[in-house]
Amino acid sequence: MIPDSFYRRFPILLIARRNLTRTKARSALAMLGIVIGVLAIASLGVFGATLQQSVTGSLGGIGNELVVSPSADEGVEYLTENDVREIRRVSGDSRVVPVRQGTARVQYRGESRQVVAYGMENPGDTYTAAEGRIPTGFRSGVLVGSSLADELGVRTGSSLTVGNRTYRVQAVLASQQTFSTVNPGSGVILPLREVEGRGYSQVVVTAESGEEANATAVAIREALNDREERVSIFELGDIVEQIGSAFEAVNLFLIGIGSISLLVAGVSILNVMLMSAIERREEIGVLRAVGYQKRDVLKIMLSEALLLGAIGGVVGAVLSLGGGLLISQLILGDALAALTPTNALYIVAALAFAIVTSVLSGLYPAYKAANEEPVEALRS
């Protein structure tokens, strides 16, 4: 694994390698513990990061969204046209979608469902069609969510009864791959005037960035809640932050579990080095007698621990990379998505932890061997 030219440049490492190969089985078992420890830390870290990536990816750009609703605590039942105009005025270039929401019973070929009905003016600004076309000026017909269309077998051009009226299906909406506060997948979208109710149930504001969304939320509060608490604003970016914090805690917990196995491997190295020091007392005595200093013996023993940790750590890191690619393929459907700076950091940190743990585990045996009295060692 390591070329001989490297050992020739560092003779102490060559001596350490020869000493380790004397007890191949013992050294291999100690190294295996390091491999397992690195694999556990890095793989669990990569698993947590990949899972977080999957969940936050499914949330899409909701960190840029605000949902403005009437303040129920103050008895406000709906948002007025004036409210919507004010929201548009202070939102700048952000997309503003007023929504009227209700429930309705839909019927198609003898089957019926109670669904959520959304009234919107320009649904084409927000949704795309899987079948058919969403009219630019949406004043007639009905748009059907993908899940509801699959359940009832509805297609473009079908006649669908919603409540007491029959509408022609203009389009079947494409399934939304990300989270949204207004998700008509199992419902229908009607022209605004077709949904009963006064004013609007909510207004969804989509900004260009999370920072812009925060600024817009402040502006809406100042404009509409100046005298009384007319509206409540739900910032979806808060959800993303909470989920991110939760995953960070989970990742730390998983890494902590993996670290236990590496600490156990460190104890194994401590045992190997102690046994080696006891078995080689006479050899150490000879080295001291021919002029080797304490620091030379210390370097040899620590080099053995370093080799165990480095080789085991590198093998574990390579296996962790393979495991990360597999995890990413299973969770995200894309193996190369695992090649992120965060995952690389987990693998490098696990490798560094393995080397440090190995060297620390070898400190006491190395100190004990280096301070062995030559005369006493030779007598043994």
3-state secondary structure of 219: helix
The mean pLDDT of 276-299, rounded to a whole number, is 73
pLDDT value at 372 more than 90: no
The pLDDT of residue 96 is 87
Mean pLDDT for the stretch of residues 24-46: 84
Amino acid residing at 245: S
Residue 377 has pLDDT above 60, yes or no: no
Question: Percentage of the chain with pLDDT > 90?
Answer: 14
Place of tokens 């604003």: 233
Q: Whole-angstrom Cα distance, residue 99 to residue 144?
A: 16
Question: How far out from the chain centre does Cα 355 lie?
Answer: 27
CA distance 141 to 370: 89
Treating both helix axes as pointing N-terminal to C-terminal, what angle do 11-22 and 24-59 enclose, rounded to 10 degrees? 100
Q: 185-241, pLDDT tens digit by residue?
A: 889 999 988 888 888 888 888 888 777 888 888 888 888 887 778 888 877 767 777
Sign of the torsion angle spanned by Cα atoms 187, 193, 197, 200 = positive
> Is a pLDDT exceeding 80 seen at residue 166?
yes
- DSSP three-state, residue 375: helix
Distance CA 303, CA 297 (A): 10
Residue with more model confidence, 95 or 284: 95
Report the C-alpha gap between 220 and 74 in whole angstroms: 17
Question: Domain spans of the chain?
Answer: 4-59+241-379, 63-236
- 58 pLDDT more than 70: no
The more confident residue out of 117 and 264 is 117
Residue 96 identity (one-letter amino acid): V
Contacts with 350 (C-beta within 8 Å, 6 or more apart), sequence order: 37, 38, 41, 42, 45, 258, 262, 313, 316, 317, 320
pTM of the model: 0.60
Task: Decide which of 177 and 183 is more confident.
Answer: 183
Among 262, 273, 231, 247, CA closest to 367: 273
Strands 95-108 and 159-162: antiparallel
From residue 14, give the alpha-carbon distance in Å to each of 7, 104, 251, 304, 355. 5, 80, 39, 10, 18
Instruction: Out of 37-51, 52-66, 165-179, pick the least confident.
Output: 52-66
Lowest mean per-residue pLDDT among 94-98, 170-174, 237-241: 237-241
Report the C-alpha gap between 200 and 79 in whole angstroms: 5
Residue where the block lists tokens 């995953």: 247
The pLDDT score that the predictor gives to residue 251 is 81
Across the chain, what does the average pLDDT equal?
82
**Chain Cα centroid distance, residue 329:** 14
Paired sense of beta strands 111-120 and 188-191, if any: parallel
- Per DSSP, the chain holds a count of helices (H) and strands (E) of 11, 10
